């Protein structure tokens, strides 16, 4: 199956700092999504971004499909950004299952 | 639109018992997915439906697991003869196939503990 590697595995930031999370994948994809899992376990969809760049408030994401990676930018981080960020991909011609990475655990301190 | 709803939120059962979970997707969504998540890991795909048809199953889904979506609306996931290794969070998600973008929306999950 497709390999999804996320880095860094853990990240601690002070409130107000910026960060970049990376997702590398091993095969061509036609679907890539970023999720945030909050400390209560709820998974929230952040971006549907198989290619290109999108922005939503303090968050933005870029996927370079030809080079098999995606980046999630968090600017001016807040304590509510804490949680685990997952990248999930759907390999071309493999059905519609999204395969998740192991996530980046982010802690934003006051 | 109340989002994806899962019941129960928590289930504690003894090894060897059968359990059943229910998922109600977002009403207009025709795709429904089941995932399993253990501590420190990302969600693992189990199976998905398009309308009432089960189109894909992971090899993680042993013959003790069965899922149904009888009328293309809600779905049930049954685990027979539960084992301690089945303890996990079971997540349901839905999406709308055929739209230009089809983001996945997750429910709050059912946490299963097998004692």
A43·B91 Cβ contact <8 A: yes
> Tokens for A70?
């995606």
Chain B residues lying within 8 Å of A33, measured CB to CB: 103-104
Query: Where do we find the tokens 């997915």?
Result: B33
Which residues of B have a CB under 8 Å from any CB of A? 31, 33, 40-45, 48, 50, 55-56, 58, 89, 91, 93, 97, 101-106, 108-109
What average pLDDT score do residues B41-63 get? 91
* Among candidate residues B102, B45, B104, the one with its CA nearest the CA of residue B77: B45
Start-to-end CA distance of chain A, whole Å, equals 40
Dist. CA B101–CA B115, nearest whole Å? 41
Six-digit token string for A57:
């408030």
By the 8 A CB rule, do A98 and A76 touch?
Answer: no
Q: Tens digit of pLDDT for each residue in A56-87?
A: 999 999 999 999 999 999 999 999 999 999 99
Average pLDDT over residues B31-53: 94
Closest alpha carbon to B34 in B115, B110, B113: B110
């Amino acid at each position: 199956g497709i390999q999804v590697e996320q880095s860094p595995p853990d990240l601690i930031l002070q409130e107000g700092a910026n960060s970049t999370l990376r997702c590398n994948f091993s095969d061509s994809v036609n679907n890539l999504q970023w999720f945030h899992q909050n400390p209560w376990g709820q998974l929230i969809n952040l971006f549907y971004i198989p290619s290109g760049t999108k922005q939503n408030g303090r968050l933005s994401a870029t996927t370079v499909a030809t080079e098999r990676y995606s980046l999630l930018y968090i600017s001016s981080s807040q304590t509510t950004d804490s949680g685990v960020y997952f990248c999930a991909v759907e390999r071309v011609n493999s059905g519609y299952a999204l395969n998740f990475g192991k996530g980046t655990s982010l802690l934003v301190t006051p | 639109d109340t989002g994806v709803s899962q019941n129960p939120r928590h289930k504690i059962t003894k090894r060897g018992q059968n359990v059943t979970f229910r998922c109600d997707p977002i009403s207009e969504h025709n795709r429904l997915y089941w995932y399993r998540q253990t501590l420190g890991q990302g969600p693992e795909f189990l199976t998905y439906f398009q309308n009432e048809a089960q189109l894909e199953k992971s090899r993680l889904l042993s013959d003790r697991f069965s899922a149904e979506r009888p009328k293309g609306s809600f779905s049930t996931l049954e685990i027979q003869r539960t084992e301690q290794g089945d303890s996990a969070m079971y997540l349901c998600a839905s999406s709308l196939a055929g739209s230009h973008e089809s983001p996945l929306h997750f429910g709050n999950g059912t946490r299963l503990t097998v004692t």
